[in-house]
Amino acid sequence: MLFHSPHILWLLVLLVPAIAYYLYRVRKGGAALRISSVAGVLKAPRTIRYYLRHVPFVLRMAAFALLVVALARPQTAQHNTRTSAEGIDIMLALDVSGSMLARDFKPDRLEAAKEVAGSFISDRYGDRIGLVAFAGEAFTQSPLTSDQSTLLTLLGRVRSGLIEDGTAIGNGLATAINRLRESDARSKVIILLTDGVNNRGEIAPVMAAEIARELGIRVYTIGVGSRGTAPTPAIDMFGNMTFVQAKVEIDEKTLQQIADATGGQYFRATDNEKLQAIYDEINRLEKSKVEVNDFTTYTEKYLGWLLAAIAALLAEFLIRTLILKRIP
């Protein structure tokens, strides 16, 4: 509890001399009457008025103390925070082709990409984020949403083999652009992650990049894969999946052109740590505008103290006039 005028509480010091004077008066006694012996008086029964003789003074002092506290205006304070965010609309375009199961990342490229993307989503308070998956064709796994828990659930359900295999980078980019086309956000961003060369789809990646530039969409591209060869899934002669060392081929030139055309950047991730660092860098480059306003709400509590003081004075008056009434 706080006090608006705490200096008024110094008036409580006046209780000390008042109590001291009262005790002095009690010990000194009042009017005196000379009698030969007080033996009979000492044996006289004590009525309720005897035990209540100090109550009026106590009530009067209590009323004074309560009134002082009320004048100091006790208050309770409630601290509140109001947050307003001017977010960014972000589409994640994720390659889910069979080559994303290569084991040069732990446990594989796709799971590593999903884990890092999940951390990125959790850090983007106030933004709307959507998810597009692509391989031989593209589909929207999640439209733009600010519901992080739902988006993380949908991200976790992404896996390779959901659609025809291949790498349709242009289609994946175009699908993400279409989701941002009607957005009125101050900033629109696509993060496109792939590990291969565009070999499927009806839309050329560079053409899709031109459309993104016309719509004011910035594209960050990420090439995923170690340099040289990597253990890549393959089907043996018996129809079983095995892993063979395959050459890592990423169309870095096209990914660089997409980024340059839209004002974004191209990154190359060769391991889990580098991929995490890339998302951290994009997170820093695309900062949302978040304003936090702290304010305090005060609630006056003096009324209860004032009513208690009036009640004490009323009780003192009733006891003094009705029970301890004196004959002049």
Identify the band that residue 328 occupies on the pLDDT scale cut at 50, 70 and 90.
Answer: low
- Rounded distance, CA 2 to CA 284, Å? 42
Highest mean pLDDT among 10-19, 179-188, 230-239, 273-282: 273-282
Give the strand pairing for 128-134 and 138-145: antiparallel
Question: Could you read off the pLDDT of 107-120 as tens digits, one per residue?
Answer: 999 999 999 999 99
Give the strand pairing for 217-224 and 188-194: parallel
Identify the band that residue 185 occupies on the pLDDT scale cut at 50, 70 and 90.
Answer: confident
- For residue 13, what are its two tokens? 């010091």
Residue 293 or residue 213, greater confidence = 213
Secondary element (H or E) of residue 295: strand 289-300
User: Please, what is the average pLDDT of the chain?
Assistant: 87
- Rounded distance, CA 192 to CA 188, Å? 13
Q: Which residues contact 275 (CB under 8 A, 6 or more apart)?
A: 105, 112, 113, 116, 222, 224, 269
- Rounded distance, CA 239 to CA 233, Å? 12
Nearest to 249 by CA among 194, 172, 174, 193: 194
Domain 88-287 grouped into CATH 3.40.50.410: yes
Identify the band that residue 292 occupies on the pLDDT scale cut at 50, 70 and 90.
Answer: low
The mean per-residue pLDDT over the stretch 290-305 comes to 76
- What torsion, rounded to 10 degrees, do the Cα atoms 57, 60, 62, 63 define? 170
Highest mean pLDDT among 76-80, 95-99, 324-328: 95-99
Question: Could you read off the pLDDT of 106-155 as tens digits, one per residue?
Answer: 999 999 999 999 999 999 887 899 999 999 999 999 999 999 999 999 99
Amino acid at 212: A
Alpha carbon of 36 to those of 42, 43, 112: distances in Å? 13, 15, 108
Amino acid at 131: L
Q: Percent of the chain at pLDDT above 90? A: 53
Q: Give residue 83's pLDDT.
A: 59
Question: Could you read off the pLDDT of 3-59 as tens digits, one per residue?
Answer: 888 899 898 898 898 888 888 887 876 555 565 555 555 555 666 666 677 888 888
Alpha carbon of 323 to those of 53, 62, 313: distances in Å? 9, 19, 15
- For residue 296, what are its two tokens? 């305090």
- Rounded distance, CA 265 to CA 255, Å? 9
- The lowest-confidence range among 18-27, 34-43, 64-73, 290-299 is 34-43
Domain extents in the chain: 2-79+296-323, 88-287
Q: Which residues contact 137 (CB under 8 A, 6 or more apart)?
A: 163, 164, 166, 168, 171, 200, 201
Give the strand pairing for 217-224 and 138-145: unpaired
Angle at CA of residue 257, ends 251 and 260, nearest 5°: 140
